[in-house]
Amino acid sequence: MEEVLSFLQENSPFYLASVDGTTPKVRPLGFCMGVDGKIYFGIGTFKPSYAQLTANAAVEISTTSKTMEWIRLRGTAVFDESAAVTAKAFEVMPNLKAMYNEETGRTLGLFYLKDAVAEIADMKGGFKEIKF
């Protein structure tokens, strides 16, 4: 899990793919954190991406490094509304608290991937699969 988390943090933004009905939707994300052996991601609960993930929790995340290695991470989104995870997110990225609070009326939806599988590959044919 640590190798996957490091790859994502070092190569931000990364891209989240979800499904809107039958149409794939991709958007950039920049927040992730490790907590208790899980990689958490965050999206606003007011955004279409949140509705898409609550309707169909299948998700894939991908990004590429400057050295042309890439990662593809897939799993099932599981939302975690615990106060402890939210507090940790605000600690890791303090500017999130300015965006998601009672004053703005916006809530941060934090999720991790259940049955996560990461594939890390490169242009030379290197390939590694990591399950967590």
- What's the chain look like in SS3? CHHHHHHHHHCCCEEEEEEECCEEEEEEECCEEEECCEEEEEEECCCHHHHHHHHCCEEEEEEECCCCEEEEEEEEEEECCCHHHHHHHHHHCCHHHHHCCCCCCCCEEEEEEEEEEEEEEECCCCEEEEEC
Tens digits of residue pLDDT in 53-83: 999 999 999 999 999 999 999 999 999 999 9
Superfamily designation of domain 2-131: Electron Transport, Fmn-binding Protein; Chain A (2.30.110.10)
In this prediction the pTM is: 0.94
Q: Where do the domains of the chain lie?
A: 2-131
Question: How much is the pLDDT for 21?
Answer: 93
Tens digits of residue pLDDT in 3-24: 999 999 999 999 999 999 999 9
Question: How much is the pLDDT for 25?
Answer: 97
